[in-house]
């Protein structure tokens, strides 16, 4: 019984650690666009406005 319990606890710990790593990876993603991406978006808007 103790073996099953410790196995389940270990599995839960691994799953929670995996969620923590995933959440951390998402939070490090930049929320701002780079200068190049902004320039591309402006050009795209200008060409659509001309049509």
What is the number of structural domains in the chain? Answer: 1
Torsion of CA 32, 36, 38, 43, to 10 degrees: -160
For 3, other C-beta atoms within 10 Å of its C-beta total: 7
First to last CA, the chain: 72
- Residue 18, both tokens: 């995996």
C-alpha distances in angstroms, 6 versus 2, 14, 15?
Answer: 6, 12, 14
Query: Which has more confidence, 5 or 1?
Result: 5
Which residues does 33 contact at the CB level (< 8 Å), separation at least 6? 41
Q: Give residue 16's pLDDT.
A: 84
What pTM does this model have?
0.44
The whole domain housing 17 covers 2-50
Q: pLDDT digit string (tens) for 2-47?
A: 899 999 999 999 988 877 776 666 666 666 778 898 999 999 999 8
């Amino acid at each position: 019984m103790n073996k099953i319990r410790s196995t389940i606890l270990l599995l839960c710990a691994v799953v929670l650690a995996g969620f923590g790593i995933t959440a951390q990876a998402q939070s490090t993603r930049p929320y701002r666009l780079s200068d190049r991406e902004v320039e591309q978006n402006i050009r795209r808007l200008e060409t659509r406005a001309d049509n």
